[in-house]
Amino acid sequence: MEKLQRATDNTVKVKSDICLILWLRSKNRFLRPSLFPNRPVIPVKKPEMSVYTLLLDFSVDPKNVKNESHLSLLSSNIENVLRDYIGNLKLITTLSIAGGSLNIYSGDMGSVISLRIFDNGTITVNIEYLKGDDSDINILTLEKYRKMEHNLRGCGILNDTRYPPIHRGTFSRYFVSSDDRLLEYDIDSILFEERSPYQKVQVVHSKSLGNMLVLDDLQNISEADLIYTETLMLRGKEDYKDKEIVILGGGDGALLYELLKEQPKHVTMLEIDEVVMRACKQHMRSICGDVLDQKSTSNYQVLRYRNCKSRCRLSEPLIRLRVFESP
């Protein structure tokens, strides 16, 4: 076999008519199975009630919170403003702690409100309550908050920030990015959830993206991600006609489905996780078509990764290629 060259576009190419495309989802995905045993399929989850957490930040001049009397006066003034916007506000306890003070309140809708004042002038108000996901009732609407913000200026508030409500409950709408930022999606149901020997496999539904494959709580591909697949295969730049192609990974079937439109000689897809293929065959057909319905045709072959040496049509040296991971 001619010498392999690794291209900077994450495609490993051979000078002859064989192309190897890498489709690895995350670091060490193929190295070892999960320590968790196989579990049965979990029924579809739809939202019912969620815990809503409102986070409000304020700041005052630090010289106004340097002693107990200043802290007491400021917390009393803020409490009086909150009382106008949160019904049935009742003080539960007041704590004097190092670096400031903490007041805990109860209010309408079973809410719990914390008011924390730090001696550097930072103030946080956290409001937590339970409500139905299909309910339009909010304990503190944006309109109410703007009026409350105006009144808080009379307490010496210099700056304020209102964050979008955090939803917690039946299932998570949030994923964490590689640099530890929180990403929120408009997910309204879980269509599939099962833990394979290798990972937790989910298919969730997003109002804007359609069905989305999630592996170990990392978003992978959705029905709106054709541009991602086309970018990976360099559609319009790479010529796949009459080529033999190997895909490492790609259990969602999207890359295989799009490559077959380019009239290759044959495509071999090696995937370690049968659960991923089963989930996508059922819930991601808009991106994989019917390619996961049959494991072998005249145009392509889908193999379990661990069995590929004995069954793959391509030569043994190709199967022993070092696996490079896409960033």
Cross-strand bridge partners of residue 59: 122, 159
pLDDT, mean over the chain: 81
Same domain, yes or no: 236 and 285: yes
208 vs 28, more confident: 208
**316 within some domain:** no
DSSP state of 238: S
Over residues 249-274, mean pLDDT? 94
Burial 12-36 (b: 16+ CB within 10 A, else e): bbbeeebbbbbbbbeeebbeeeeee
- The residue among 167, 166, 109 whose CA lies nearest residue 138 is 109
**312 within some domain:** no
List, for residues 101-113, the tens digit of each pLDDT value: 999 999 999 999 9
Instruction: Please give the pLDDT value at position 133.
Output: 66
**131 within some domain:** yes
Q: Flag whether the pTM goes above 0.75.
A: no
**183 within some domain:** no
Q: Which of 144, 169, 194 is the endpoint of a domain? A: 169
Same domain, yes or no: 69 and 153: yes
- β-bridge pairing 300-304 and 11-14: unpaired
In CATH, what number is assigned to the domain containing residue 125? 3.30.160.110
Tokens found for residue 55? 């986070």
Residue 240, amino acid: Y
Instruction: Please give the pLDDT value at position 278.
Output: 96
Same domain, yes or no: 54 and 159: yes
Same domain, yes or no: 126 and 96: yes
Place 17 in a pLDDT band, splitting at 50, 70 and 90: low
List, for residues 49-82, the tens digit of each pLDDT value: 789 999 999 999 998 888 888 888 999 999 999 9
Which range marks the domain in which residue 116 is found? 49-169
Question: Domain total for the chain?
Answer: 2
Interatomic CA distance for residues 75 and 124, integer angstroms: 11
User: Left if phi > 0, otherwise alpha if psi is -120 to 50, otherwise beta: which for 250?
Assistant: left
Place 317 in a pLDDT band, splitting at 50, 70 and 90: very low
Q: Which of 44-58, 131-145, 207-221, 311-325 has the lowest mean pLDDT?
A: 311-325
The neighbour count for residue 255, using CB atoms within 10 Å, is 26
In CATH, what number is assigned to the domain containing residue 292? 3.40.50.150
Interatomic CA distance for residues 116 and 325, integer angstroms: 46
Instruction: Please give the pLDDT value at position 6.
Output: 38
39 vs 309, more confident: 309
* Whether the predicted pLDDT of 127 surpasses 60: yes
R_g over Cα of the chain: 27
Same domain, yes or no: 302 and 228: yes
**317 within some domain:** no
How distant, in Å, are the alpha carbons of 85, 124, 140, 327 from that of 143?
11, 20, 8, 44
At 42, give phi and psi (nearest 5°): -90, 135
- β-bridge pairing 111-118 and 187-195: unpaired
Place 270 in a pLDDT band, splitting at 50, 70 and 90: very high
Same domain, yes or no: 144 and 118: yes
Over residues 121-139, mean pLDDT? 86
**315 within some domain:** no
Compute the residue count for the chain. Answer: 327
Instruction: Please give the pLDDT value at position 307.
Output: 52
Place 314 in a pLDDT band, splitting at 50, 70 and 90: very low
- The residue among 167, 56, 163 whose CA lies nearest residue 117 is 56
Same domain, yes or no: 76 and 136: yes
The neighbour count for residue 214, using CB atoms within 10 Å, is 24
Same domain, yes or no: 135 and 247: no
Interatomic CA distance for residues 263 and 223, integer angstroms: 23
Residue 291, amino acid: V
Same domain, yes or no: 26 and 55: no
Instruction: Please give the pLDDT value at position 9.
Output: 40
pLDDT above 90 covers what percent of the chain?
56
- The residue among 248, 301, 239 whose CA lies nearest residue 271 is 248
Instruction: Please give the pLDDT value at position 19.
Output: 61
Interatomic CA distance for residues 169 and 129, integer angstroms: 11
pLDDT above 70 covers what percent of the chain?
78
List, for residues 208-239, the tens digit of each pLDDT value: 999 999 999 989 999 999 999 999 999 999 99
Residue 101, amino acid: S
DSSP state of 126: E
Interatomic CA distance for residues 57 and 160, integer angstroms: 5
Instruction: Please give the pLDDT value at position 2.
Output: 37
